[in-house]
Amino acid sequence: DQQVKQNSPSLSVQEGRISILNCDYTNSMFDYFLWYKKYPAEGPTFLISISSIKDKNEDGRFTVFLNKSAKHLSLHIVPSQPGDSAVYFCAATFSGNTPLVFGKGTRLSVIA
Amino acid sequence: ETGVTQTPRHLVMGMTNKKSLKCEQHLGHNAMYWYKQSAKKPLELMFVYSLEERVENNSVPSRFSPECPNSSHLFLHLHTLQPEDSALYLCASSQDLSSRGWTEAFFGQGTRLTVV
């Protein structure tokens, strides 16, 4: 059973607009969530994270929102830039020595 | 330069071959991992090493055999693989296995493996 789900395999957004990438999880034990960005032929790189004690974390153009009751998080990118075109992975973990559980990823294309 | 280097970048092997994937990190990290990325599937954690000791093996078939001779190097030995093993194999490292060590993993560029 997939514990972290990214139901949209792809998303196209115009440059300058907002990109919203969604992620749902099923394990209520998860208390820390991350977004990774992956370019072709490269490994994933860490982008932004959020702890379950918060509902929002912002870093520049990137904001992650967490809705614990809905077991849902989203990544907002504003304004979107062509260089943001990549695959975005949502990941989750919980306190202790537990590995990251990744979603399948969403391919974002930002069109100039 | 990510600090985590994987070789080779691409590998094509027959089902009867034996090959090895190599991972090297120069970040001073104590934990290293192998992940498998298949098309349309989530990243799958395969093996975890901490201070050269294997601490996790997620039901990976024995045709995959990891080796961690020291904290900077990690190998994945492959033998008698199946076509469905074709995937991108990613190595990662992190400072340690403390509660957030998992989350600060740095990934290599991956080895694209094709089994024919």
pLDDT in tens, B15-38: 989 999 999 999 998 889 999 988
pLDDT in tens, B32-59: 999 998 877 888 889 989 888 887 777 8
pLDDT bin (cut points 50, 70, 90) of residue A50 is very high
DSSP letter assigned to residue B93: E
What chain B residue is nearest to A103 in terms of C-alpha separation?
A: B42
Q: Please give the Cα distance from A22 to A7 (Å, whole number).
A: 8
Distance from CA of A91 to the nearest CA of B (A): 9
Q: Name the percent of chain B lying above pLDDT 90.
A: 58
Contact A40, A30 (CB under 8 A): no
Q: Please give the Cα distance from B62 to B16 (Å, whole number).
A: 14
DSSP bridge pairs for A102:
A91
The pLDDT of residue A42 is 78
Chain B environment of A93 (Cβ under 8 Å): 102-103
Chain B environment of A46 (Cβ under 8 Å): 103-105
Q: Please give the Cα distance from A58 to B71 (Å, whole number).
A: 34
Tokens 């990137």 appear where? Answer: A62
Asked if residue A63 has pLDDT above 80, the reply is yes
Mean pLDDT taken over chain A: 92
Tokens 């904001």 appear where? Answer: A63
Q: Which residue of B10, B37, B47, B88 is the best one to mutate when testing the A interface, meaning the one whose CB has the most A CBs within 10 A?
A: B37
The pLDDT of residue A94 is 79
| Residues 6 or more apart whose Cβ sits within 8 Å of residue B108 | A43, B2, B4, B5, B6, B23, B25, B90, B91, B92
Asked if residue A16 has pLDDT above 60, the reply is yes
Chain A environment of B90 (Cβ under 8 Å): 43-44
Q: Name the percent of chain A lying above pLDDT 70.
A: 96
Largest CA distance in chain B: 40
Q: Which of these, B42, B113, B55, B39, lies nearest to B79 by C-alpha position? A: B113
Report CB contact under 8 Å: A99, B98: no
Q: Please give the Cα distance from A91 to A5 (Å, whole number).
A: 9
pLDDT in tens, A65-105: 999 999 999 999 999 999 999 999 999 987 655 678 889 99
Q: Name the percent of chain B lying above pLDDT 70.
A: 91
Distance from CA of A6 to the nearest CA of B (A): 9
The pLDDT of residue B89 is 96
**Residues, chain B, total?**
116
Distance from CA of A59 to the nearest CA of B (A): 17
Q: Please give the Cα distance from B11 to B23 (Å, whole number).
A: 14
Report CB contact under 8 Å: A2, B42: yes
Count the helix, strand and coil residues of chain A and give each as a percent rounded to the nearest 5: 5, 55, 45
Q: Please give the Cα distance from B104 to B94 (Å, whole number).
A: 6
The pLDDT of residue B85 is 95
Mean pLDDT of B79-97: 90
Chain B environment of A9 (Cβ under 8 Å): 40
Task: Please give the backbone phi and psi of residue A53, each rounded to the nearest 5 degrees, phi first.
Answer: -80, -5
Report CB contact under 8 Å: B99, A99: no
Report CB contact under 8 Å: B42, A9: no
